[in-house]
Amino acid sequence: MSLPRRSSSSSGADGLPPPLPLLVPTPRTSEPLDGTGNDTWLFSPPALRRPSGRTSSIAAFFQQATLPPLQKSYPMPETKDGRRRQYRVPFVLFACFAVFAILAGVLVFGSRDSDSASEKTATNITVAPVAPTTATPAPTAMLEAVEITEEANASGMGDGTNVPWKFHRYYFVNNCTEPLHIYQKPVNMTRWGFCDLAVGTYGCAGNETGASYHTPAASLDQATLFEVAVVGSTVSYDISVIPPGCGHEMSLAGCKARSGKIGFNLPMRVTPLQSTCPTLTCLEDGCVDAYHYPDEPNKTRVCMEPTATFQVTFCPSP
């Protein structure tokens, strides 16, 4: 059994709820406040397009009057405080920059003024001359009692064995039959110096690292050589008969064949005085105590006695 269909035109008295109203935007008839058209539409509580047929026209009028239509939001104008804040930030930055520039200028120009003032003050200062100090001379009696110094005793007759040497490490004795012309070349000098030594005398004392030998002229370099190295209280010494121009030969014969020269001219003896260091003697060419070639081992002697003085005798007795 089918139920009778209800007519769509049945009234609200049949117990059915009224249909939902349609939401439609209702624009305002007034002109927008923003001339650019950037307005935003907001939905307020919905408005009815028209009153329902189930209500009277009077009820619909009052219903539309109580519900506000679709409203349009307008951009709010900026306040005076906001505009002031926009202009205030650049002004503050400019003021800070101006203050910084003023301070920098004061510092720079102030330092220049102080420097110029100090220079002017310095130029006005006069330096008082300092009187030279003069040592008081010693009494005459004290000067007469002064011992003979080493410098005054650095040369003389004999062999100088009993001389109280203090400042010199070595000296030379001439026992030959002719005067000697001794050339000396310290390592801190660029040229050779020379010292004349008469027969039967001693002298030409020194205390520097270098080499010494006798030759009648500086161009004649074929000579018996005395070499010494002084470092504090340590002295290294040797005798050399290496021919000039030997190069890197490993024997005396090889050096002579290479250079065509010899390295011996006068016999020599080196005697350490007041010392236990060994004595070196070279009476002929090729002697055992002398260097024959540059790299020959065990030819340098070392003496570590601070009171030792080396007596170098030319033409010693056998």
Residue type present at position 165: W
Residue 273, in any domain of the structure: yes
Distance CA 293, CA 64 (A): 134
Q: Whole-prediction pTM value?
A: 0.55
Residue 226, in any domain of the structure: yes
Predicted confidence band of residue 141 (pLDDT cuts 50, 70, 90): very low
Average pLDDT, the chain: 75
Number of structural domains found in the chain? 1
Phi then psi for residue 12, to 5 deg, are: -65, -15
Residue 216, in any domain of the structure: yes
Residue 280, in any domain of the structure: yes
Residue 130, in any domain of the structure: no
Predicted confidence band of residue 120 (pLDDT cuts 50, 70, 90): low
Residue 135, in any domain of the structure: no
Residue type present at position 32: P
**Cα-based torsion angle of the residue sequence 208, 210, 214, 217 in order, rounded to the nearest 10 degrees:** -110
pLDDT reported for residue 95? 80
Distance CA 137, CA 117 (A): 48
Any residues with CB less than 8 A from the CB of 303 and at least 6 apart, and which? 234, 235, 236, 237, 272, 275, 277, 310
pLDDT reported for residue 57? 57
Task: Please check whether residue 182 is in contact with residue 204, taking contact to mean a CB–CB distance below 8 angstroms.
Answer: yes
Indicate which CATH number applies to the domain containing 268: 2.60.110.10
Distance CA 181, CA 218 (A): 9
Task: Please check whether residue 223 is in contact with residue 214, taking contact to mean a CB–CB distance below 8 angstroms.
Answer: yes
At residue 279, does pLDDT exceed 50?
Answer: yes
Domain that holds residue 309: 178-314
Residue 238, in any domain of the structure: yes
pLDDT in tens, 202-230: 999 998 899 999 988 766 788 999 999 99
Lowest mean pLDDT among 51-55, 98-102, 166-170, 283-287: 51-55
pLDDT in tens, 68-118: 554 444 455 555 555 555 556 677 777 887 887 888 777 777 666 555 555
pLDDT in tens, 149-200: 788 889 999 999 999 898 899 999 999 999 999 988 887 776 678 899 999 9
Report the pLDDT averaged over residues 8-24.
Answer: 55
pLDDT reported for residue 2? 46
Number of Cβ within a 10 Å radius of residue 200? 13
Residue 240, in any domain of the structure: yes
